[in-house]
Amino acid sequence: MSQPRVSVIIPTYNRAESLPRAIDSALDQTISDSSSGSELEVIVVDDGSTDDTAEVLASYDDSRVRPVIHATNQGANVARNTGIDHARGEYVAFLDSDDEWHPDKLARQLETLAERDDDWVGVYCDTALELPETSDRARGLVASLLARSDSEPVREGDDELIGEILADNVQPGAGSTLVVETAVARAVDGFDEELDRFQDPEFCLRVLGEGKLAYVDEELVVREETGHPPADVIRKADEQYLSRYEDEVERFEAAGYDIRASHELVLAKRYLAEGRFLRGAWHLRGAATSLRRCPGLCWAAGAGVRRRPKTVLAGTAVVALVAITMIAALARISVADQIRPDIDDLSAADTPVTIDPEDEPEESPAE
């Protein structure tokens, strides 16, 4: 097969049921150039699956599909980097095995890059989150409507995009939206294999050190609902992530970006959703809020109450705290100094729990 223009990289682990949808959406891309043969290859990295993934891959009689097998499970970041190592295309495009692409995704992104000069090394796009429950869809709709009251972030460029990503105002979603020059992905040494969270934005920040990222303002990816690691794992990864970019955090916070406060909000939601209300309240006290984030914050508090119904008093207090936070968002004031819970007096009930992926949807747009 001649050298493809795009190498699609799909890491997968025990997702035999959803994997065909991802592979098919990659193979159905509309990019074509008869003068150069196939425009893409699909590298599926089976990260030590123990389900029927091998049978799914064997069912594809298509030379564009290139399975790569890990003997043991090593994690999504390692699997993505294995894909980068095997890529033969000018560009690499990442796709999670439970997500799906619009048929014109790669075509629209490559068209966008073709309109730019050589300073632009990659392009990402908007996504749509698949929310099966009516309550989840309503929450997403409310968040979208409230987002109109927020100031529009910068979505393209290089240095100006760094602050937006660090502050969680822009989520490039590299795992399923990003197309980037293969040489650049290799130059930055791929995805950080030590991070359990924030690996997508962290990868994009290093890519921005090599050139500019463009943006296609279209929902060209359908994201499947997934779960979260435990809140303690997210907190540790958050500390690692921000410490690596300490200088940039200081610089952009001096320019007016609420970076640390935005990350406090992420942690607050995760702890609230686990029913660890005092921990959630502690992080919420320093969180940056906006109207767009209020539905997700309310959902997290409600999920925590449902998860631990016996902690009624703590749950009620946190619901009140969330209400105060929403009012603060409406009034554009800070609640940082209004509430100071003592996290040293955590109750015995305030212990880590495992999050069921089907029990805790993410906020829309994606975190």
List the chain domain ranges: 6-224, 234-345
How would residue 335 be classed by pLDDT, with cut points 50, 70 and 90? very low
Name the pTM for this structure.
0.81
- pLDDT for position 318: 55
> What distance in Å separates the CA atoms of residue 111 and residue 349, rounded to the nearest whole number?
54
> What distance in Å separates the CA atoms of residue 331 and residue 149, rounded to the nearest whole number?
12
Range from 89-93, 135-139, 359-363 carrying the lowest mean pLDDT = 359-363
91-112: per-residue pLDDT in tens? 999 999 999 999 999 999 999 9
User: Between vectors from CA 195 to CA 193 and to CA 196, what angle results, nearest 5°?
Assistant: 110
User: Which amino acid belongs to residue 343?
Assistant: I
CA distances from 256 to 24, 250, 367 (A): 44, 10, 21
For the cut 70, the answer to whether the pLDDT of residue 329 exceeds it is no
Higher pLDDT, 116 or 149: 116
> Residues 284-303, buried b or exposed e (16+ Cβ, 10 A)?
bbbbbbbbbbbbbbbbbbbb
222-280: per-residue pLDDT in tens? 998 777 889 999 999 999 999 999 999 999 999 999 999 999 999 998 998 888 888 98
Give CATH superfamily name and number for 6-224.
Spore Coat Polysaccharide Biosynthesis Protein SpsA; Chain A (3.90.550.10)
CB 95 within 8 A of CB 125: no
